[in-house]
Structure 1
Amino acid sequence: MSTGLAVVVLGAAGGIGRHVVTEALRAGHRVTATARHPDRLPNPDLPAEQTARLTVTRADVRDTASLETAMAGHDVVVSAVGPPGRHARGLYSDGARATVAAMDRCGVDRFLGVTSAGVRYDDPELAPWYRLLVRPLLRELYADMIAMEDLITASDLDWTLVRPVLLLDRDPTDLYRVADAATPPRGRSVTRADVARFIVAELHERRWTRRHPTIA
């Protein structure tokens, strides 16, 4: 079995974040799960020897000091932060600034973050109805995601930016497909659990360093 890493999960109470926590524990990693409201984090349905490697802590992705506290002594940061609705209000870009600063101060240089396939407006696999009807409604959200990506890619971090298509709350399939900076052909949806499995696999595989894997 591979040697476990010390992993910080930002946004661990969210749909993808909670799956990342569970899959990382199953894979043998030590996990620090962070959220603004740690009491909202679900308890992973895992054996005691796995949950013993879990630490839950409060951190605000916009607050560099709280992020430093959470990140100290870790190997990698996974960011699965996201707003509850369709307005980002600077969450992605503000969070990226604070995250990069905290990682620099803590000496952590590996970052895996989640944005969306929708950030690439010219993606030929983006359905016309989505481009014309849905994307305008999410213009502010996608603009903030793009700002986050720009901040991360301009940094010195060892980064991977995961771009899922339409997210579903279903069981993992392990049938997902991945392409670099483009949606796989006819890729319309993916489960949050599959996105988490891809992220946790990438912790050791490191196949997508400084790339934009789009998953469907």
Structure 2
Amino acid sequence: MSKVLILGANGRSGRLLVEEARAAGHEVTAAVRTPQPGAQVVDLRDPASVEVALKGQDVVISAIGPAGRKADGLYSDAARALIPALDGVRLIAITSAGVRHNDPNFKPVYRILANTLMREAYDDMRAMESLVAAADLDWTFVRPTRLLDEPATGTYRVEDNQTPVGGWQITRTDLARFVIDEITTQAWLHRQPTLAE
């Protein structure tokens, strides 16, 4: 059993991560931006707030995202606040399959979106990954393809740093189960598993 802090715990993926982590027997702290019952408020742009939240934790799972569709620098700002507090704490951060510019298996339509409408958000995710990877830390960046709000299938595939051939979507529940399993297996330490059915 690990002590696990889940950032973005009130989002669609975050809620499932909390459920799966508790079901696996971990001691979970749900972290959110604004006050909510049963959750701890953490300002991811404030290193002092982040340091307090990480105290005593074994693993931090990041399921953060901007409040709206527009990128607001949250990923890179959070990385800067997290890095000083992550000594001895593992980070498992969810970004996106669109983060890799030259993924040979990424669907062309999604590549267009990644380079136009979603460009700022993906650039910010890349910045987060680069900042954390450059530090001497234990990290894993989980890169799901298109996320579905459907029951788990258990049939997803995983490739390191590229989308599985023909894959373009995965359920949020499958994503959550993969992330929580990674706490124990540590099979993807210092790698970027990309998930798709």
* TM-score range relative to shorter protein: over 0.9
Aligned residue type for 1:23: E
Structure 2 spans left out of the alignment, 5+ residues = none
Indicate the SS of the match to 1:34: strand
The equivalent of 1:198 in structure 2 is: 178
Q: Report the Cα offset of residue 130 of structure 1.
A: 2.3
Alignment of 1:1-216 (within 5 A): 4-39=1-36, 56-104=39-87, 108-133=88-113, 135-216=115-196
Deviation digits for residues 48-78 of structure 1, max 9, x if unmatched?
Answer: xxxxxxx621111111111112111111111
In structure 1, what is the Cα distance between the partners aligned to 2:22 and 2:50?
Answer: 21
Aligned residue type for 2:73: G
In structure 1, what is the Cα distance between the partners aligned to 2:2 and 2:73?
Answer: 30
CA RMSD of aligned residues (A): 1.4
Structure 1 spans left out of the alignment, 5+ residues = 42-54
Indicate the SS of the match to 1:73: coil
Aligned residue type for 2:96: S
Deviation digits for residues 71-96 of structure 1, max 9, x if unmatched?
Answer: 11111111110113332211000011
Percent identical residues: 52
Aligned residue type for 1:156: D
Q: Report the Cα offset of residue 171 of structure 1.
A: 1.3
Deviation digits for residues 77-121 of structure 1, max 9, x if unmatched?
Answer: 1111011333221100001110112224xxx33110011000112
In structure 2, what is the Cα distance between the partners aligned to 1:187 and 1:69?
Answer: 39
In structure 2, what is the Cα distance between the partners aligned to 1:85 and 1:150?
Answer: 23
In structure 1, what is the Cα distance between the partners aligned to 2:39 and 2:191?
Answer: 29
Deviates more, 1:167-176 or 1:200-209: 167-176
Aligned residue type for 1:121: H
In structure 2, what is the Cα distance between the partners aligned to 1:215 and 1:69?
Answer: 32
Give the 3 Å change call, closer, same or farther, for CA 137–208 of structure 1 in structure 2. same
Could you say which structure has the larger radius of gyration?
1
Give the 3 Å change call, closer, same or farther, for CA 133–31 of structure 1 in structure 2. closer
Give the 3 Å change call, closer, same or farther, for CA 57–159 of structure 1 in structure 2. same
Contact 1:103–1:109 (8 Å) recurs in 2: yes
Q: Report the Cα offset of residue 134 of structure 1.
A: 5.2
Contact 2:57–2:89 (8 Å) recurs in 1: no
In structure 2, what is the Cα distance between the partners aligned to 1:72 and 1:57?
Answer: 13
What is the TM-score normalised by the length of structure 2?
A: 0.94
